[in-house]
Amino acid sequence: MRLVMLGLAALLSLMLLAACGGGDGDGQAGGGNAPESVLRDVIDRGVLHCGVKGSQPGFSYLEPDGTFTGFDVEFCKAIAAAVLEDADAVEYLSVASASRFELLAAQEIDVLIRTTTVTAERDAGRGVDFAPTTFYTGQSFAVHADSGIFSTADMDGITICVQSATTTEQNLDDLFAELGYSYVPLGGEDQENQDAFIAGRCDAWTGDQSNLASRISQLPNAADFRVINEIISKEPLAPGVLDYDNAWKDVITWVVYGLINAEELGVTQSNVAAWSEDPPNTAVARLLGVPFEGGEVADLGFDVDPQFIQRALRAVGNYGEIYERTVARVGIARAGTLNALYTEGGIIYAPPYR
Amino acid sequence: MAEQPPIPPPAAAAPPQPPRKVVLPPHRERAHRPWRVRAEEWVRRNLFASPGQTLLTFASLALVGLVIAGAVWFVFFQANWRVITVNRWLLFAGGFPLDEKWRLWLSVALVFPLIGAAYGMWASLGRRDLLFIALAGAFVFFLTAHGDAGPSSSVWFAASLALFFLGYRVCRFVPRETGRPRTLAVRTLAALLALALPLVLIVLMVGGGAQASQFGGFMLNLILAPVGIVGGLLLAVPLALGRASSLRAISWTCTAYIEVIRGAPLIGWLFVALFILEDVISSPLIVRTMIVLAVFTAAYVAEYIRGGLQSLPRGQGEAGHAVGLSHLQTLQVIVLPQALRVSIPPIVGQAIGLWKDTALISIILPLRELVGNSRAAIAQAEFIPDRIEVYAFAAVLFWIVAFMMSRISQRMERAQGVGER
């Protein structure tokens, strides 16, 4: 009797969950075989499923009230604003690195914006296509401020904290073999390495330069450490989408390029409304999808209306504004790095929007 | 200083009793000596019997002292508990719409009296239970009263606690001995308990509430684990019976199920929930996770129940048939109650195991349970150095629930007379 009751209750709750959860159009059983664009799915569903890391300072993490925030999250918002006209129409999924590409393949997420490095193997062999790089970083070293180490040339024979069994460790091995130097590795997870380094058990701590900089900047004694100005590997981080979906990839690609173009053209979150009414030149008018001095609106052939970049800009501002609002806050400076605009010595560069 | 309390008559005033000549066994004899002498003897015999033992005693004392001192130093002086008070909502329900907070509290207020009633029905609150409730309650009050939670959370929690004791009191009136009134009361309570989860889900979701994908934090662990445990138990009974069946097809199927499920780790099955189950049952990930947890638990519990079935003498079933009960009736009133009773301890062990396994979920699945949201909290720039605080807090939360489960199981075992009959 009791068992029957319990069973009924369990069934009831499952059905209830299925019914309520089904309301947001989560089911995609039919969409698997059709070569239909994810763009159409997203518009039909009314919600963008954005795969982020959810635990990386500056890039994606949760505020105390449970809202997602960070550099990667801003791009999710920009895409949602562009496609769905609502920057908040995003369901964020905290994706584990072990299953991120599989989640993309299973269409549990529409776009993966999770500090993912573009590599040939991922592009060719994993069924992933990459949008333009949003953030350039690379492997570097943190050292104690009072040490005499200023570049890899000063590192012969030192102890280095490195995450074991990673590409980080391979890069380090390759570099030291090339230099003909020796070093003592001290392996551990990211957090353990941080502790060991702070406690002085290793002379240097290696990892992504942006990650090192942001973690050190938050320490109470941040001034006791510094990150050297040398990068030993390339880590371009970019949004990923499913292979063979040009309509969707085009939109994401040009949302990213659009935000960069906006910075080059001086369009900001604060002037985008005014400039949409009265654009200062044709380039800005094209970018915002508005007519210039009584002319026609340029339709460039996207599967969304011509004002999609304007909406993204209204929601999150241009590339530089996103950078200042998120990663710059955790001590990842922009000036003088690869992430500066090409006009300022970096390599952030977007093809023309025309 | 108005009145002195009456001075009790001195003990010596009592007429001395002539010592009775009773020969006590040596261990009872000792009990007559003053406690100080006995303590001294105990210490000497158990802690300082030989130089080696003395050394060991001092070493252990030093170790224990060091650990306790370190823990106290960390908790009261070193730790930055702001990371917890600021992220209270994130850790408990992160992802759930903040405006709908009342739905969570209403659920708590619904469940608490039922737990209290269960306590009143099958056990009584001892001093240790009350101490535990007081400590856990103070802990929650500290959290709700701190920072910007506002008074409403404290009021909700106080009301829920009051309802807990109300449920307890009401069920204390139910007669202890088996009989019609008790059976009726037990059935009512069982039905209410069974309806609790659907009711909670209605409160949380219906009428502009949250979507399943917005469940997060500790609340998600608290929803997933019971579904896995109850669902697993329900699946396990037919599996255990099927495995013991004399029909080959049935027993082989059940055996295959049990062996296959037990043959792979939970993490593997969570991947199945993510990538394979989707093609079979198109449903939100949270539902697929619940299915996997239930299916996984069932394989283990079925084996415990089979053990219980096998521990019964054959005569039990035969006696049932002899008095004219059908096969089903024999199972229902004779075999299963006894088999399940014997299986309580390992089943509770499995339940506690599953409870802690819910911490694995966010490693594989994009569901943000407590551990996932803990990682998110320490990615906030301000709290990057405070990860030990967050993980220690998560551990305490897990412990509180696991400890409660273990206590309740002890009570149930005692009430059911496990190991006595």
In angstroms, what separates the C-alpha of B39 from chain A's closest C-alpha?
46
Give me the percent of chain B exceeding a pLDDT of 70.
90
Q: Alpha-carbon torsion A103, A105, A111, A116, what sign?
A: positive
Report, as an integer, the average pLDDT of A346-351: 96
- Judge whether B261 and B295 are in contact, CB under 8 Å: yes
When scoring A20, A41, A197 by the number of chain B Cβ atoms within 10 A, the one with the most, hence best to mutate, is A20
Q: What is the mean pLDDT of residues A87-97?
A: 92
The pLDDT of B360-372, averaged and rounded, is 89
ipTM > 0.85, yes or no:
no
Of A215, A227, A233, A224, which is closest to residue A149 (Cα–Cα)?
Answer: A227
B140-197 pLDDT, tens per residue?
Answer: 888 887 655 567 888 999 999 999 999 999 998 888 887 888 889 989 998 998 899 8
Could you tell me the two tokens for A320? 């530089």
Query: Is B366 in contact with A2 (Cβ distance < 8 A)?
Result: no
Maximum distance among all alpha carbons in chain A?
78
Alpha-carbon gap, residue B411 to B124, rounded angstroms? 9
Q: Supply the pLDDT for residue A13.
A: 54
Mean pLDDT throughout B246-269?
94
- The string of DSSP letters for B361-406 reads HHHHSS--BHHHHHHHHTTSGGGTT-HHHHHHHHHHHHHHHHHHHH
Minimal Cβ distance to B212: which of A20, A28, A56: A20
**pTM for the whole thing?**
0.82
Q: Over the stretch B191-234, which tens digit does the pLDDT of each residue have?
A: 998 899 899 999 999 988 888 888 999 999 999 999 999 999 99
The rounded mean pLDDT for chain A is 88
Q: Which residues of B touch A29 (CB under 8 A)?
A: 278-279, 282
Question: A143 — phi, psi (to 5°)?
Answer: -135, 170
B98 to chain A, closest Cα gap in Å:
7
Residues 6 or more apart from A273 whose CB is under 8 A from it? A314
- Per-residue pLDDT at B302 exceeds 60: yes
Residue of B nearest to A28 (CA): B282
pLDDT given at position A1 = 46
The yes or no reply on domain A139-233 and CATH 3.30.910.10 is no
Asked if the Cβ–Cβ distance from B287 to A95 is below 8 Å, we say no
The whole-number pLDDT of residue A36 equals 83
DSSP code string of B60-75: HHHHHHHHHHHHHHII
Q: If contacts are CB pairs under 8 Å, which of residues 226-285 in chain A contact chain B?
A: none
Q: What pLDDT was estimated at residue B38? A: 86
pLDDT at A9: 54
Domain A37-138+236-266+308-347 and domain A139-233, same fold? Reply is: yes
Considering only CB atoms, A21 lies closest to which of B88, B96, B283, namely B283
Region A162-174 average pLDDT = 84
Q: pLDDT: is B26 or A61 the higher one? A: A61
| Domain range summary for chain A, segments of one domain joined by + | 37-138+236-266+308-347, 139-233
Mean pLDDT of B390-418: 86
> pLDDT tier at A215 (50, 70, 90 boundaries)?
confident
- Which pLDDT score, from 0 to 100, does residue B373 have? 93
Q: Is A54 on the interface with B (CB under 8 A)?
A: yes
What average pLDDT does chain B have?
87
pLDDT tens digits, one per residue of A8-54: 455 555 544 544 444 333 333 333 444 589 999 999 999 999 999 88
| Cβ contact, residue pair A57, B380, below 8 Å | yes
- CATH class of the domain whose range is A37-138+236-266+308-347: alpha beta
If you ran DSSP here, which 8-state letter would residue A142 be given?
A: E
**CA–CA min distance A30, chain B (Å):** 10
Chain B partners of A24 at a C-beta cutoff of 8 Å?
Answer: 211, 213
Residue B318 CB coordination number (10 Å)? 10
* Mean pLDDT, rounded, for A196-208: 92
Partner residue opposite B376 with nearest CB, options A28, A54, A93: A54
User: A58 and chain B: CB distance < 8 Å anywhere?
Assistant: yes
Q: A91–B213: do the CB atoms touch at under 8 Å?
A: yes
The closest CB to that of B384, out of A26, A51, A215, belongs to: A215
Task: Check residue B108 and give its pLDDT.
Answer: 93
> A34: which 2 tokens?
């059709």
User: Taking CB atoms and an 8 Å limit, are B197 and A10 in contact across chains?
Assistant: yes
* List of chain A residues whose C-beta atoms are within 8 Å of the C-beta of residue B227: 10, 13-14
- pLDDT tens digit string along B84-113? 989 999 999 988 988 888 999 999 999 999
Contacts of B219 in chain A (CB under 8 A): none
